[in-house]
Amino acid sequence: MSAEPPLDRLGRPGLDVAGATRALRDAFAMCDPEAARHEARLLIGHVLDLDLTGLILGGDRPVAPDDAARLLALAHRRLAGEPIDRLIGTAGFHGLDFALSPATLVPRPDTETVVDAVLARFAPEDAFVFADLGVGSGAILVSILAERPHAFGVAVDLSIEALATAHRNAVANGVVERAAFLAGSYAEALAPAAFDAIVSNPPYIATAEIDTLDAEVRLHDPRLALDGGADGLDAYRALAPQAASALVPGGLLAVEIGWRQGADVLSVLAADGFEDLRLLPDLAGRDRVVTARTPAPARR
């Protein structure tokens, strides 16, 4: 006699929170044993509107049949490769929560390196203006504004839906009064010499490599935010001269890169006059962010 498939338990009469958690954990363990319990709790918390304390203390709470059916449908989508953050509609980044939409990437921990580069440059008491090119969910923009209360940020994106998502996240995290939202391509519409810093997580995957990415990225992240052209460097070639114009003398540029693109991106930025070029590592110690500055005024 074969064992009962874990998800079949979601249809049992008398299902409670603890039983649903075990069923989802056992099902997800077939794909990722290390993340199974965490993802099970996230999914149940999302459907039943319970935080971790509620999940732990409310293990005997009954799960209504409609909620069990919703859990089952979401679990099948997870097992088919849809990211858990997409299923619950939010993702954590730099200690904050961000709503997602089909027009935005799921913000990833390695991108926090971009935020940290800006925080290292500007002290909490500094007043400065920066732009986030290709703002997506607003994870970088909002995280910087949350940590630097005297900063003002301009969000730029081609996608109106992405801008709406970023605006929603700025509202939710209490920084929208220090942000503006602009539809456009990179820094082409920004005023010259008006920004102390420019940040970006641009598309940097070579077109031919997109079909080789993990299904969670390939099938669920917007292609517009992934496709960097034939060699993955189109975005840097476009934004470098625009950013050089929009930044004040000595202004900071911080861009995320693919871990093998460091030398090429440094070359692109150097060709547009950027100085003090540096590579910063991600959590795995691989090249992830390039920082650079526009030339400072010559001393007399």
CATH value at residue 250: 3.40.50.150
pLDDT in tens, 103-112: 999 999 999 9
Residue that terminates a domain, selected from 26, 52, 80: 80
Same-domain status, 58 and 201: no
The pair of three-digit structure tokens given for residue 15, joined into one six-digit string: 């299902």
Question: Residues 35, 184: one domain?
Answer: no
Overall domain count for the chain = 2
Calculate the average pLDDT of the chain: 94
156-192 CB burial, b ≥16 within 10 A, e <16: bbebeebbebbbbbbebbebbebbebeeeebbeebee
- Structural domain including 11 reads 6-80
> Are 38 and 175 part of one and the same domain?
no
Residue 12 falls in which region: left (phi positive, over 0), alpha (psi -120 to 50) or beta: beta
pLDDT tens digits along 83-106: 999 999 999 999 999 999 999 999
Q: Among 24, 49, 80, which residue terminates a domain? A: 80
Helix pair 65-79, 36-48: axis angle to 10 deg: 140
8-12, 108-112, 274-278, range with the lowest pLDDT: 8-12
pTM metric for this prediction: 0.92
In a domain, 195, yes or no: yes
Contact 120, 112 (CB under 8 A): no
Average pLDDT score over residue span 144-161:
98
